[in-house]
Amino acid sequence: MSAPGAPKKSRRSHECIPDIMNDCGIGAVWLSEEKALEVSSSDEAFYFVAVFRGRIFEHLKKIGVNLYGVHVVRQTLSTGGCLPRWDFPVYALNLTGACVCFTGLSLQKREELKVKINYMNGVVSPSLTEKVTHLVTDYCDTEARRMGLPIMSPLWINEAWEAAQAFSLENLLIFLKVITATGVGGSERMDIARLIELNGGRFSGDMKRSECTHLIADKTRGVKFKKAREWNTIKIVRSSWLRKSVIAGYVLPER
C-alpha cells in the first residue's frame, strides 16, 4: 500500500490559519503583502498577522482595522469565546481582564509598557480606581497595599510580553505521531499532510504496522481501513479530529 509522500512545506505554519478557520465555518483568506497594503481604514474585516512588526503590521495598525496576532485565533476558538474588540491591536490574551495602573515611572516607560499591555489584551488606567487589578511601580505603594492590589515591577510586563512572543505556532509540536490517510486525494490530501507536518507529526503515504499510529479515514472502506481494523494497533480517526486537535493545541481523544 503506497501513496505519494508528504509534500514539501511550501507555506509557513501561520498560513494554515485560514484553513483552520474555514473548517470552523469562519470565512478566511490569505492576503499577499501587496493586497494587505491596499487595505483602507473603512474595512470592517478582521486581520491576523504572525508578528507585530514590519510594513504590513504598521500599515494595518495605522489605519485602525481590527488587528490580531495569529495566536488569538487558536485561543479564542478553543475556548468558544469572542474576539476582543479594542481600538488597539491584540497579539495574545495573556493579560485578559487585567487593568494596570502605573506610578513612579517615567512617561516614556509608561508608554512602552502600555503598548505591551494592550497587545496582550489588557488595559491601562490613568488613576488608581476600584477597577485596577495591578499596580506597576519600582517601589512599594501604601495606597495599593491598603486596597489589596498586587504590586508588580515593570519586569512583570516585559516577561509576560516575552512569553507571548515565545508562544509560536511553529513551535507547537502537537502530534509527534506517524499518520497516514485513506480515501482522500489531491489538495485535501496535501492539506492534511501539511497540518500534520507543521504540528510535529509525520505524514506517511504507506501504512506500516510497526510505526504508523493513526489512520485518517472519513469513510469505512478501503484497504488501509480494513488492515487497520484487522491489526487493531492503529487508531482510526476522521479528518475533523486532526483539525480540531490543531485548534485545541493538543491531541484530542480518538473516538
User: Is 11 part of a structural domain of the chain?
Assistant: no
User: Is 87 part of a structural domain of the chain?
Assistant: no
Quote the domain boundaries for residue 119. 99-171
- For the cut 60, the answer to whether the pLDDT of residue 8 exceeds it is no
pLDDT grade for 233, boundaries at 50, 70 and 90:
very high
Phi, then psi, of 178 in degrees rounded to 5: -110, 115
What is the C-alpha to C-alpha distance for residues 128 and 104, in angstroms, rounded to an integer? Answer: 13
pLDDT grade for 214, boundaries at 50, 70 and 90:
very high
Last residue of a domain, one of 146, 171, 196: 171
pLDDT grade for 158, boundaries at 50, 70 and 90:
very high
Distances (CA, A) of 85 to 39, 89, 96: 19, 9, 12
215 and 237 share one domain = yes
- Which CATH number does the domain housing residue 136 bear? 3.40.50.10190
What count of other Cβ atoms lies within 10 Å of the Cβ of residue 167? 17
User: Is 113 part of a structural domain of the chain?
Assistant: yes
What integer is the mean pLDDT of 16-21? 59
List of E strands, 113-230: 123-125, 134-136, 151-152, 178-182, 202-203, 214-217
User: Is 62 part of a structural domain of the chain?
Assistant: yes
- Provide the number of structural domains found in the chain: 3
164 and 186 share one domain = no
Q: What pLDDT score was predicted for residue 171?
A: 46
241 and 182 share one domain = yes
User: Is 90 part of a structural domain of the chain?
Assistant: no
User: Is 126 part of a structural domain of the chain?
Assistant: yes
Distances (CA, A) of 168 to 12, 50, 56, 74, 94: 12, 9, 19, 11, 14
Last residue of a domain, one of 141, 171, 201: 171
124 and 134 share one domain = yes
187 and 240 share one domain = yes
104 and 158 share one domain = yes
User: Is 205 part of a structural domain of the chain?
Assistant: yes
pLDDT grade for 4, boundaries at 50, 70 and 90:
very low
pLDDT tens-digit series, residues 29-87: 777 888 889 998 877 888 888 788 889 999 999 999 999 987 787 677 666 678 888 99
pLDDT grade for 188, boundaries at 50, 70 and 90:
confident
- For the cut 50, the answer to whether the pLDDT of residue 1 exceeds it is no
Last residue of a domain, one of 131, 155, 171: 171
User: Is 23 part of a structural domain of the chain?
Assistant: yes
What is the C-alpha to C-alpha distance for residues 17 and 48, in angstroms, rounded to an integer? Answer: 9
179 and 212 share one domain = yes
